Structure 1
Amino acid sequence: MKKYIRLFFITLIKTYQITISPFLGNNCRFHPTCSSYMIEAITKHGTVEGIKLGMKRISKCHPFGNKGFDPVPLSNKEKSK
């Protein structure tokens, strides 16, 4: 069931990337973009934690915030290797 919930959110974000994002232009101040960041965060950390990380990232994406390279943090699995 978790797999399907994760797939639902990733599909939702990809739909945004294909349908809405092209009309808004390239406004993200970070690399990877906020939507790509959230997909990677959900994939690495699971749905709930990934969405939390993605929302935290989106909250930093404004004209007075930082910009530049901001990768998804390593998951606990990746840290233990």
Structure 2
Amino acid sequence: MKKFIIKLIKKYQEATKGKNPTCKYRPTCSNYAVQAFENYNIFYAALLSIWRVLRCNPFSKGGYDPIPKYKKELKAQLKAEKEANKKESF
């Protein structure tokens, strides 16, 4: 079922290819959904995808917004880099 949903999203991406991207988030909402379905069960991935589309509105600031797994990894990496920079400055 997950593979079928991912194929549907890819078909959507192909159909809209060449049009100006209007998603203010990176990755785009459709890429976010694909990543969610590749990394989580179907129900959680659907919930993440729907929540992402609901957040994509004129009142949001947008920006870099990866799926939760990657947010945790990115925060840990940034924290490690900050600590390494502190050690180097002493």
TM-score with structure 1 length normalisation?
Answer: 0.79
Does 2:10 correspond to 1:9?
A: no
* 1:48 aligns to 2:43 (yes or no): yes
Q: Residues of 2 paired with 1:60 and 1:40: CA distance? A: 17
Question: What's the CA shift for 1:24?
Answer: 4.6
Q: What is the rounded CA distance, in whole Å, between the counterparts of 1:37 and 1:45 in structure 2? A: 12
Kindly indicate whether the alpha-carbon contact (under 8 Å) linking 1:41 and 1:50 is maintained by their aligned counterparts in 2. Answer: yes
2:85 aligns to what? Answer: none
CA contact (8 A) 1:60 1:66 kept: no
**TM (normalized to structure 2)?**
0.72
**For the pair shown, which has the larger CA radius of gyration, 1 or 2?**
2
Letter of the 2:23 counterpart: C
RMSD of Structure 2 on Structure 1 (CA): 1.8
Contact 1:41–1:53 (8 Å) recurs in 2: yes
Aligned equivalent of 1:37:
32
Distance in 2, matches of 1:51 and 1:24, equals: 25
Q: Deviations over 1:5-43 (max 9, x none)?
A: 000100000000001x23652100100000000000111
Q: % of aligned pairs identical?
A: 34
In the TM superposition, structure 1's runs of 4+ consecutive aligned residues that sit over 3 Å from their partners are none
Q: CA deviation at 1:70?
A: 0.3
- Distance in 2 (CA, whole Å) between partners of 1:41 and 1:48 is 10
1:60 alignment counterpart: 55
